Amino acid sequence: MNSPAWLETMLLGNTVLDWAVALGWAFGATAVIVLVRRVVSHRLAVLAARTETVADDAVIEALKSIKKTYVLLLAVGSALAWLHFPDAAHTAIRRAMIVIAVLQVIRTGNVVVDFLAGRYAARKDGLDRTTLRALSYVGRLILWITVILVGLEAGGFEVKTLLTGLGVGGIAIALAVQNILGDLFAAMSIVLDKPFVVGDAIAVDQFEGDVVHIGLKSTRVRSVNGEEVVFANADLLKSRLRNLTRRDGRRYVITLLLAPSTTAERVGHVPALVAEAVAEDGRSTLQRSHLIAAGLNGPEVETSLFIPGMDFTQGFEIRQAVLLGILQRLEREGIILARSATVAP
């Protein structure tokens, strides 16, 4: 069966039939892509509801960010590429498709960055919103520059000269603000690696306190004495930092120096008396209790005590109860201390 004659009519170098097939393919491909996106998004949403990971939710947001208009324009551009046009027209169509693809990637990247920043801001241990906003701006800037440069390269533009200029300028700027950049990258390392979060108790050198703010350049710590200590992020990561919040408990060492006249038999009873005192209180674990020295000052018995939990005041109370129990048992047995017991955390 022959097709109608009007379908063979030439229009801009192509028959009406060729135009109809190309545009039909474009609209059909758009419909299929939109339908697949909707089905995949729905199934991923059902899967994401069963998990606690952020990755699947980010993928859903990325799929939702795909604009139908961009999909249609890309489909039309790919369909036009099969038609007969001058080389200049094909080049223009290809570059237009690259621009549309760049816009879509930037749109998707912005949505994903906003989603991740919003999820992190909702956490109680996360950064403050101002710092997150600044980091999201940096992330967007890096994304835009990368996508635009890739798009220019794909479009046939020479970007080597531009990259060379940006490289030389970037080195000069980096040398001028290397301290600021060091603190900025340190802030990103803190965000990603999480050696500590807001609210954690940390110890740096001789300073100890609670983290109250994590910024782009500095971290503020409220010390145990009440003042606020400000650390540069880069210097903070170079230091030997102890996160006191993440420990399982506190270890205390109790040293008992007995009178020089204490007999060996009575010295041998001291570890058992210590074990009784710890067991009676029941809130701590006895790691060891041994005679470690016997000099002119008297026999020395050292005890290691582990108190679970992170409450500093509760640790003192448990240690006090154990010490009182030990002293009571020593008095009962007639064992005399050469001096007061000393305790080291």
**Tens digits of residue pLDDT in 273-306:** 999 999 999 888 898 999 998 888 889 999 998 8
Same domain, 85 and 229: no
184 within a domain of the structure (yes/no): no
CA 316 to the chain's CA centroid: 34
Please give the residue range of the domain that contains residue 215: 190-243
Strands 201-204 and 14-15: unpaired
Same domain, 156 and 225: no
Same domain, 211 and 256: no
For residues 61-78, give the mean pLDDT.
79
**Count of domains observed in the chain:** 3
Buried b (16+ CB within 10 A) or exposed e, 138-176: ebeeebeeebebebbeebeeeeeeeeeeeeeeeeeeeee
182 within a domain of the structure (yes/no): no
Same domain, 117 and 137: yes
181 within a domain of the structure (yes/no): no
Same domain, 234 and 274: no
In the predicted model, is pLDDT for residue 128 greater than 70? no
User: Which residues are CB-contacts of 207 (< 8 A; sequence separation ≥ 6)?
Assistant: 221, 223, 229
Same domain, 165 and 283: no
Better-predicted residue by pLDDT, 103 or 159: 103
pTM of the model: 0.46
The tokens describing 306, both together, are 């582990």
183 within a domain of the structure (yes/no): no
CATH number, domain with residue 328: 3.30.70.60
Same domain, 125 and 194: no
